Amino acid sequence: MTGLWRRLLEVFRGRQLDREAVEELAHHVDLLVARKVAAGLDETEARRQALIEVGSIQSAREQIAERRTGFALDQVGREAVYAARVLRRSPGITLLSIITMGAGIGASVILFALVNAVVLRPLPYPDSDRLVRIFDTNAQAGIDRAGVATGNLDDWRARTTLFDGIAGYFAMGRTLTVGPNSEVLITAQVTQDFFSLMRVTPILGEAFSIDEVRRAQYSSAAAPTGADPVVIVARSVWQQQFGGDPGIIGRTVMLERRPFRVVGVMPDGFAVPDRGVQLWIPWDVSGVRPRDQHYLGGIARLKPGASLTQAQDQLNGVAATLGLEHGPTNRGWGVHLSPLAVETVGDTGTVLWVLLASVGLVLLVACANVALLSLMRGLDRSEETAVRLALGASAGRLVREFFLESVLLSGLGGLLGVAIAAAGLRILPRLTSDLPRIDEVVFDYRAAAFVAAVTALSALLSGLPQAWRRTRVAPIAGLAGGSQRMTGGAGRHFLRDSIVVAQVALAVVLLAASGLLVRSFLHLRGTDPGFDPRGVLVAPIFLDSQAYSSGDRTRAYYRMLFERLSAIPGVSAVGGATTVPTSPLGPDFERPVWPEGAAPDSAQRLPASVRMVTPGYFPALGLRVVDGRAIDDRDLPASPRVVMVNETLARRLWPGQRVVGQQLVVDYSTAGTYPYEVIGIVGDVRFRGPRSAPPPEIYLPHAQRSYLILNVVLRTTGDPRALIPAVRGVLKDVDPQKPAHGMYALEDLVGATYARDRQAMVTLLVFAGTAIFLAVLSVYGVLSQRVRERSREIGIRMAMGAGTPKVIAWVVRAGLRLVVAGMLIGLLAAWMLSGTLEGLLFGVAPRDALTAVVVVAVLAVVGVLATLVPSWRATRIDPVVILRRG
């Protein structure tokens, strides 16, 4: 204890101790001089001799000083300067090290920032960990996730105790007209507790009052029927459509040709139900409502202390009671609760974690490279080191110096990395706009801590091998080596080789992972979606019940629209459907269906996704009609009710039977339950992207069930995007107040369903490529050095008659030994780790033999490439020169 105390004191007394040491030594020298003067020398000569005799007074002082604790602190500054000088002496290697380090750190920081924003940071709502999404489930009907039914919401709120609010919402496009401009904005109808449970208050005005919610009734076609309807707008709408008007509160705007009073402006970043929503209107769902139409988004806040399971159990209890009270509609239905954060991020979190882990591996490879570079530089400096050790420099000091070198390298690399990350994070949103929460990516304290940690770790990892080896140089051996060009010792080789092998192994792990993702991506691309997205333009149209109150008017509008659109040059087919594959817009809902005559409880009652389509939809989308006929112009409002089913539904309901001509009952609840004649079978469509299995589907003629929402699809032989101006013109002509809500090439929408797979694949490929490149660089570097070291031996062998092939074989063997060792270790590691990729893969097993074969092939090629130049150099060694020098 006293020892520690004294050490602490010494840190502060350092200056005085140093002065005392000087004084003591000066006293000594003076006495020495005095003696020499007494012996007859003159003063100057005596002092000169004394100093020589004394030897390096400085060295003695240093040795005394070095034992003090505070010394390290005084000394670090001086040693850092020395380290910087050393680094400047080999600018090429230094620059390469800094860039390698910087790229590694930069990429890590970018990925960390993403993981941080998307996964780690809580959602930007107060106590967001208490927010959950609610889904209806029905195990009997095989539905694991459906929307919430409006009719149950009030009962849930009244009969549960573990929630601080339960709300529902439903989003659709509505036309906002401000002055001469009309624009379709995604509008969420939200029920009573919505804003209070989100705990986000408008930046202007207020959230809906109870009164405003109570008045907010809508007709079946979503037109407001209550007095004084109100709306809350997003900040972006306030800025763009209203020019940031400070007096916007109380202003009346036209929404679907109806006046709405603006009562609030929501801040940026309020993305509930999702990022696209720009308007919110209240919605009263009290009173008698259908309990069997599952289309609401459900959201709730758990009471403090209530666990997700408790809340789910309680709500399931209520659901079971409702099942008894309202048998026909509620029997079998339960709920599933899931944290809002999980639902918002989806499985992107997994991808990001995998990528962060991968970039960590790349960083390790980069550190190994820097370590190797400094080892090699250290080897070049072994003479210097040996001399300094012989002259009495302590091993500790040398180790410190080499760590300072790597600290400097990593520090500069870290700075470069931060610059790279800052630039990368700026352009990233443009590259991956579909990443959830991408707009929340910031460089916060956690990212800063990460940078510091990563940089420190890099310094440690890249400095460790060098420092470790430093202490093992015997002064005499090192000196002798200087004059005799002796080869590096076996231990030295082992360290260097181990680093290279580790690098190759890490690179193999990354290569194997990216190989799996490539295979998976090819599978995704190769999956038949059931339709042909090439050359298809989608224009979502939302008609309003105000102007299109009857089916006749709706049909008239669409008939006119289709006629005009077909006349656009290059358009080969025009059709429409309530929802189109991979498009997020339009009602995608399910209704129970069964073959006529099936018992009410029979397993033949299935929920089927319902599409209302026009005759042109089939050729426009390239759907296959497998059997029977497609919906066509014969299917008019007054004609017999007809339906088309998809292959999945046909297989489930009528396995092995003739399907066309069967009668299918569709339970339309409030709109009636009737049998429909099946007129044809449509090929299965992977509606939500290639990963999704086709659900049972029915197609109804739009003419017989006219929806106001229709996704209009146009097929063209050219680039569908080129049609956009013409389509916009036609829309304006037919009804200036009904623009489309954006227009998309279907290809882009389909592409978006595997955009994440592509990004993950490309990113991992880049990582793997970088790692392989760095590893190969190391193999090359180590081999070159070995050839240089062994040039004498090679020269002698050549003089003794070893031919070029033998020399090349020697080098290639040395190189391939490293590559093969790394490959085996890497494949083993990849084999053990591959399970973590399972969630990302499609159609490929995590332990895919073909991928392993490709990895081996790639490594064989790059391995041989890495040995080429060193081999060539080895053959250029001139035995005569070598022998003469030796």
Partner 1 sequence: MDKIDLLILRTLALAPLHGYGIGQRIEQTSGGVLRITLGALYPALNRLERTGLVKGSWALSDSNRRARYYALTPTGRRRLSSGQKAWERSVAAMIRVLRAEAK
Q: Do residues 592 and 603 make contact, with C-beta atoms less than 8 angstroms apart? A: no
Residue nearer to partner 1 on the CB measure, 23 or 733 = 23
Cβ at position 106, least distance to partner 1 in Å: 47
Binding mask 56-95 for partner 1 (x = CB under 8 A): xx-xx--xx--x----------------------------
Candidates 13, 14, 18, 25; binder of partner 1 (CB under 8 A) is 25
Tell me how far, at minimum, the Cβ of 1 lies from partner 1, in Å: 14
| Cβ proximity of 728 and 562 under 8 Å | no
Cα–Cα dist 234/280, whole Å: 8
Distance of CA 147 to the CA centre of its chain: 27
- Classify strands 642-646 and 673-682 as parallel, antiparallel or unpaired: parallel
Contacts with partner 1 in 600-659 (CB under 8 A)? none
Name the burial class of residue 523, with classes exposed (0-12), middle (13-18) and buried (19+) by CB atoms within 10 angstroms of its CB.
Answer: middle
- Give the residue with the Cβ less far from partner 1, 30 or 325: 30
Judge whether 764 and 517 are in contact, CB under 8 Å: yes
DSSP letter for 836, please.
G
| Structure letter (DSSP) for residue 518 | H
CB of 65 to partner 1, least distance (A): 9
Least distance to partner 1, CB of residue 9, Å: 13
Which residue lies nearer to partner 1 by CB, 56 or 550? 56
Least distance to partner 1 from the beta carbon of 385, Å? 21
Q: Which of 9, 16, 22, 24 binds partner 1 (CB under 8 A)?
A: 24
Nearest to 336 by CA among 312, 317, 314: 312
Q: Quick one: which segment of 21-29, 459-467, 743-751, 768-776 binds partner 1 (CB under 8 A)?
A: 21-29
Instruction: Select 71 or 542, whichever has its Cβ closest to partner 1.
Output: 71
Rounded to whole angstroms, the Cα distance separating 731 from 734 reads 5
Q: Mark the segment that binds partner 1 (CB under 8 A) among 16-24, 102-110, 156-164, 687-695.
A: 16-24
Closest by alpha carbon to 863, among 500, 512, 493?
500
The answer to whether residues 589 and 290 touch, using CB atoms and an 8 Å cutoff, is no
Instruction: Annotate 738-751 with DSSP letters as a single string.
Output: ---S--EEHHHHHH
Work out how close the CB of 358 gets to partner 1 at its nearest, in angstroms, rounded to a whole number: 51
For 79-236, list the strands marked E by DSSP: 131-138, 143-146, 148-149, 163-178, 181-190, 204-205, 230-234
Region 495-534 residues binding partner 1, contact defined as CB under 8 A: none
Minimum CB separation from partner 1 for residue 398, in Å? 18
At 606, phi and psi to the nearest 5? -120, 150
Out of 11, 13, 14, 21, the only residue in the binding site for partner 1 (CB under 8 A) is: 21
Cβ at position 393, least distance to partner 1 in Å: 14
Between 67 and 806, whose beta carbon lies closer to partner 1? 67
Residue 139 CB contacts under 8 Å (≥ 6 apart), including other chains = 332, 334
Nearer to partner 1, 27 or 472 (CB): 27
Minimum CB distance to partner 1 smaller for 7 or for 89 = 7
Task: Please state the closest distance from residue 858 (CB atom) to partner 1, in A.
Answer: 58
Residue 419 touching partner 1 (CB under 8 A) = no
Q: Which is nearer to partner 1, 32 or 422 (CB)?
A: 32
> Whole-number minimum distance, CB 81 to partner 1, in Å?
25
424: its two tokens: 């990368």
Residue 820's alpha-carbon distances to 486, 503, 768, 781, 859, in angstroms, are: 28, 12, 17, 17, 8
- Please state at what angle helix 71-89 crosses helix 57-66, rounded to 10 degrees: 120
Stretch near partner 1 under the rule CB under 8 A, chosen from 25-33, 193-201, 262-270, 352-360? 25-33
Q: Which of 9, 12, 15, 20 binds partner 1 (CB under 8 A)?
A: 20
Rounded to a whole number of angstroms, the minimum distance from the CB of residue 63 to partner 1 is 5
Which DSSP helix (H) or strand (E) runs through 112? helix 91-115
Nearer to partner 1 (CB atom), residue 65 or residue 249: 65
Nearest distance, CB of residue 6 and partner 1, angstroms: 9
Q: Which is nearer to partner 1, 20 or 838 (CB)?
A: 20
Q: How far is the CB of 50 from partner 1 (least distance, A)?
A: 10
DSSP-derived secondary structure letter, 829: H
Handedness of CA 384, 390, 393, 397 (dihedral sign): positive
Question: Three-state DSSP class for 330?
Answer: helix
Phi, psi for residue 859 in degrees, rounded to 5: -65, -40
Minimum Å distance from CB 38 to partner 1? 13
Give the residue with the Cβ less far from partner 1, 391 or 603: 391
672 CB contacts (<8 Å, ≥6 apart)?
A: none
> Contact region for partner 1 (CB under 8 A) — 24-32, 108-116, 623-631, 647-655?
24-32
Nearer to partner 1, 57 or 387 (CB): 57
Measured from the CB atom, is 5 or 445 closer to partner 1?
5
Of residues 309-328, which lie at the interface with partner 1 (CB under 8 A)?
A: none
| Minimum CB distance to partner 1, residue 816 (Å) | 52
Element (H, E) at 691: none
Nearer to partner 1, 32 or 755 (CB): 32
CB of 4 to partner 1, least distance (A): 14
Q: By CB under 8 A, tell whether 23 contacts partner 1.
A: yes
Q: Which residue bears the tokens 């680094």?
A: 87
Binding to partner 1 in span 668-697, by CB under 8 A:
none
- Sort strands 131-138 and 143-146 into parallel, antiparallel or unpaired: antiparallel
Dihedral (CA of 547, 550, 554, 556) sign: negative
Please report how close the Cβ of residue 15 comes to partner 1 at its closest, in angstroms: 16
CA distance 255 to 173: 10
Distance CA 453, CA 360 (A): 12
**C-beta closer to partner 1: residue 53 or 347:** 53
Q: What is the DSSP string of 586-649?
A: S---EEEEEETT--TT-TT-EEEEEEEE-TTHHHHHT--EEEE----TT--TTSPPEEEEEHHH
Name the strand (E) or helix (H) holding 298.
strand 294-302
Nearer to partner 1 by Cβ, of 61 and 797: the residue is 61
Site for partner 1, residues 169 to 228, rule: CB under 8 A:
none
- Closest distance of CB 415 from partner 1, Å: 40
380 scored as a contact of partner 1 (CB under 8 A): no
Which residue's entry shows tokens 């401000």?
A: 178
Q: How many chain residues are in contact with partner 1, going by CB under 8 A?
A: 20
Instruction: Give me 674's structure tokens.
Output: 């009737």
Stretch that binds partner 1, among 19-27, 171-179, 527-535, 553-561 (CB under 8 A): 19-27
Nearer Cβ to partner 1 (59/286): 59
Site for partner 1 in 27-56 (CB under 8 A): 27-28, 30-32, 53-56
Residue 128 has what DSSP assignment? G
Cα of 2 vs its chain's centroid, Å:
54
Indicate the burial class of 82 (C-beta count within 10 angstroms; 0-12, 13-18, 19 or more): middle
Helix axes 348-380, 755-789, angle to 10 degrees: 10
Cβ nearer to partner 1, comparing 65 with 568: 65
Under the rule (CB under 8 A), what is the footprint of partner 1? Answer: 20-21, 23-25, 27-28, 30-32, 53-57, 59-60, 63-64, 67
